[in-house]
Structure 1
Amino acid sequence: MKSTIKDVARLANVSISTVSRVLNNPEIVVPEKREKVLEAIQRLHYSPNALARGLIHKRTQTLGVLIPDISNLFYSAVLRGMEDAAHRSGNNLIICNTDNNRERRSSILSVLNEKQIDGVVWTSEPVDSGSYELFGKFGFPVVLAATHSLEFELPSVKIDEEQAAYDAAEYLIRRGHTRIGMISGPAADPISGHPRIRGFLRALDDYGIEGDAQSNIEYGKYHFENSYTAMSKLYAKLPDMTAVFASSDERALAAISFLHDNRIKVPDDISVISFDNTRMAGMSTPRLTAVAQPLYDIGYLAVAKLIGLINGEPPQQLRTYVAHSIVERDSVSDRGAGGF
C-alpha cells in the first residue's frame, strides 16, 4: 500500500503540517525535525501527491503545447528542445495536435484550462482573434514558437522567414543560377507562405533576375503528394529552370522525386535547395542543401520564455529572432561562372 503523509508524520513523530513544511518550505523547519522527516520519507518511499502540491503552490508544473501536425518531422527537434527546457525547470508537457483546425484548437485550449496548466506554447500557426480571446479568458501565459503575431502582443521565438528565403535564393544566384523556380505553401499563409515568397522574389529583383510570382512559383499544401504535383506544374511552366527553392524539406524531397521519375538529374540538371534542415535533409539522395532553422533552440527558448512569464518575469524581448544558416550538402551545383 502506498504511504501517505500521515504515515510519514507518525514515523517521524511530528505533525502533518511539519511534514508539509519540510516538503514545501524546508528552510523554515528546525534541522532536527527536518532530518527526522526526510529519514521517514526515505524509509517509507513516500512520494508527495503532485495535485495536492499544485493546489498549495497554485501551479501544476504542466505546460500545454499546441502543434498543427504531429506527424511532421519539423516538430521532433522543436519538441526535443521544449522537453529539455521543461525538464530542467521541473515541468511536464502535454502535447496536443490541432490538425490545423480552429474548432479543435479552441476545444484543446478549453481542456488545457480545465487541467489547470500553467501556460501554453503555441506552435507554427498564426493566432486568430478567437484564440487570443480565449487566452485572456483563461488567463494563462502564452508564448509562440516558430510563429509570431504582429497584431497581438504575444512573446515569440522564430527566425526571420523573409530573410532566410532571400538568402536561399541569393545562394543559388551566387552559384550561377538565373532561371530559378520555387514550390511554396499557400501564399495566404502569413508565417511560412507569404514571407518566404516575398524574400525569394526580393532576391530575384535585387540581382536583376527575371521572374515573378505567377511564372516562377507554384503553390500547394506541405504534404509530399501536394508538393510533387506542385513541382510537376512548375516544371511545365518553367522547363528551362536550373534550380528550385523548396520551402520545406518535404517539398524538396517531392521535387527530387518528380525530377528522378522524369530522368532529370539532381544537381547536374536542376539544383534543389530546401528549408528547415530536419533530419530527413541528410537522409535523401542526394543529401539536401538547406536553409537551417535552429529547431531545438526555438523549442528550448520558447519554453524558457514561458517559464519566465509564469514566474512573473517579463521577457527581455517580446519577439525573439534566432539566426538561420545554410547547410551545404549535395543537391546544389554551380551553373556557369556566376558573376555576382
Structure 2
Amino acid sequence: MKEKKVTIREVAELAGVSISSVSRYLADPKSIQPLAAYNIKNAINELQYEPNMFARNLKRGQTQIVGLIVPHMEYFFGKICHVVSDYFFERKYITYICESDSEREKELFYVQELLNQRAAGIIIAPSGQNTPYLQGVTKNYKNMIAIDRQEDIGCDMVLENHRDNAYHLISWLLKNKPCSRIMMLFGWSDSFNTRMCLAGANQALEEAGRDGSRVIKIFTARKIEVVMDALKQLNSVLEDGERPVIIGFGTDIVEYIAMGIHQLYPEWIGNVDIAGFAMGGTKEKLGMDCSLVVKNPETVAICAAELLSQKIMGEKEEKEPRKYDVKVKYEF
C-alpha cells in the first residue's frame, strides 16, 4: 500500500503556525521568528516532510537557481563568487557561476540561458557590450542586480566608487611622495572602471598642476607582458636620483609590478613607490611597502545578494533603480 505523503498543512498544524509561515520558512529560514522556525523545523523532522520543490517553483514561475555572471573568477570576483554562493546555499538556492571573459557573446548567452532556465534572479557584472539588450530584459525581469560597473541597465547597482578612490589615492601620493615621475597602469582601455579610475586620476593631477609630460599612462589589458614592457619604458626615461611612483589599478596589476621589479630591476626595491587598488593582504603577500586602496568584495557580494533575495521573496518594493556605494579601506 502506498504511503500517504505528508502535507504542508500537517506541518503547520503540528508546529502551531500558519501554512504561509511554513512556506516562508522553506524559502528562507531566517525570515521567520526564531521560536516559530524552531517549531517548524521540529515538525518537519518529526513528520519526515519532504517539500515538493518542483511544484513550488512551477507555482512561482521560477526555480531555485540564481545566476552570477562575472568577467573572471580571480581576486575580487573570486571572493564575490564565494560569498554569493554561500549566501544562497544557506537559503537552499543553487548558484550558477558564469565566466563571461567580458565578451559580448558569452554574456548574452549566459543571460538568455538563465532566463530560459527561469532563474529566480541574476547578479551580473556587465561588460558594457550588451547594454540595450539588458535594458530590455530588466523592463520585465525585475530580479537582476548589477555589480562593480556603473552601467545603466535598469536595475540596482552595487559598486565601489572607482573615480573617488582613484582621486583620493593620487591626491595623497602627490602630497606625500616625491612623484618626480609617475606611471599609471590601468586595465582594459574600454572598461568602465578604467574610465572612472582615469577620470579620478586626471582630476587629481589637474588640481595639483602636475605636468602631464612626466606622467606615463599604460592600458595593460591585465597582461603581465604589457606590465613588463611598461617597466622597461619607465626605466628608459628615468633620470639619476629620480624616485618614481608606479600605480596599478587592480590587484593583478600591482602583483605584476612587484614581480617585474624583482625580475628586471631589483635595485629599484626601496627606491620606488608602489601604489594602487588591491585586495586585502596584498602588501603582506608581496613583502613590499605599498599605498593601497583595499577593495571590499565581501560587502559588495553581501549587499547584492541581500538585494536580490529581497526581490525574489517579494519583500523589496519596486522603485527607480538605485546605486549602492560600498566603502573601501585606504592603506596610505
TM-score by length of 1: 0.77
Paired residue for 1:61, among 60, 64, 69? 64
Please give the per-residue CA displacement for 1:156-202, whole angstroms capped at 9, x wherever unaligned.
Answer: 01111111111221222222322221111233322x21111121122
Q: Secondary structure at the match of 2:212?
A: coil
| Structure with greater contact order relative to length (CA < 8 Å, sep ≥ 6) | 1
Specify the alignment match of 1:52 in structure 2. 55
Provide the rounded CA distance (Å) in 2 between the counterparts of 1:39 and 1:170.
Answer: 59
Paired residue for 2:144, among 142, 145, 153? 142
Contact 1:215 1:238 in 2 (8 A): no
Specify the alignment match of 1:318 in structure 2. 322
The question of 1:101 aligning with 2:103 is answered: yes
The AA in structure 2 aligned to 1:67 is V
Specify the alignment match of 1:161 in structure 2. 162
Paired residue for 1:188, among 187, 190, 193? 190
Specify the alignment match of 2:175 in structure 1. 174
Q: CA deviation at 1:97?
A: 0.9
Please give the per-residue CA displacement for 1:296-336, whole angstroms capped at 9, x wherever unaligned.
Answer: 001111111222233142369701112222124xxxxxxxx
Q: CA deviation at 1:94?
A: 1.4
Q: CA deviation at 1:132?
A: 1.2
The question of 1:218 aligning with 2:218 is answered: yes
Q: Secondary structure at the match of 2:247?
A: strand
Please give the root-mean-square deviation of Cα atoms over the aligned residues, in Å: 3.3
| Residue range with higher mean Cα deviation, 242-251 or 73-82 | 73-82
Closer/same/farther in 2, CA of residues 248 and 281 from structure 1, 3 Å limit = farther
The question of 1:230 aligning with 2:230 is answered: yes
Provide the rounded CA distance (Å) in 1 between the counterparts of 2:142 and 2:321.
Answer: 19
Contact 2:104 2:129 in 1 (8 A): no
Closer/same/farther in 2, CA of residues 86 and 237 from structure 1, 3 Å limit = farther
Closer/same/farther in 2, CA of residues 53 and 287 from structure 1, 3 Å limit = farther
Please give the per-residue CA displacement for 1:263-293, whole angstroms capped at 9, x wherever unaligned.
Answer: 3445521111120325544311326432112
Paired residue for 2:285, among 274, 283, 289? 283
Specify the alignment match of 1:333 in structure 2. none
- Structure 2: unaligned runs, 5 residues or longer: 21-39
How many residue pairs match? The answer is 307
Specify the alignment match of 1:200 in structure 2. 201
| Residue range with higher mean Cα deviation, 109-118 or 306-315 | 306-315
Provide the rounded CA distance (Å) in 2 between the counterparts of 1:127 and 1:154.
Answer: 16
The AA in structure 1 aligned to 2:165 is A
Q: CA deviation at 1:119?
A: 1.3
Specify the alignment match of 1:92 in structure 2. 94
Q: Secondary structure at the match of 2:18?
A: helix
The AA in structure 2 aligned to 1:182 is M
The AA in structure 1 aligned to 2:18 is E
Provide the rounded CA distance (Å) in 2 between the counterparts of 1:41 and 1:309.
Answer: 27
Provide the rounded CA distance (Å) in 1 between the counterparts of 2:8 and 2:296.
Answer: 47
Specify the alignment match of 1:255 in structure 2. 257
Provide the rounded CA distance (Å) in 2 between the counterparts of 1:182 and 1:83.
Answer: 34
| Residue range with higher mean Cα deviation, 201-210 or 88-97 | 88-97
TM-score by length of 2: 0.79
Closer/same/farther in 2, CA of residues 235 and 307 from structure 1, 3 Å limit = farther
Q: CA deviation at 1:89?
A: 4.7
Provide the rounded CA distance (Å) in 2 between the counterparts of 1:17 and 1:49.
Answer: 10
Q: CA deviation at 1:236?
A: 3.4
Q: Secondary structure at the match of 1:193?
A: helix
Contact 2:61 2:118 in 1 (8 A): no
Identity of aligned residues (%): 16
Closer/same/farther in 2, CA of residues 201 and 18 from structure 1, 3 Å limit = closer
Q: CA deviation at 1:121?
A: 0.5
Contact 1:183 1:218 in 2 (8 A): yes
- Structure 1: unaligned runs, 5 residues or longer: 10-15, 30-36, 329-340
The AA in structure 1 aligned to 2:113 is V
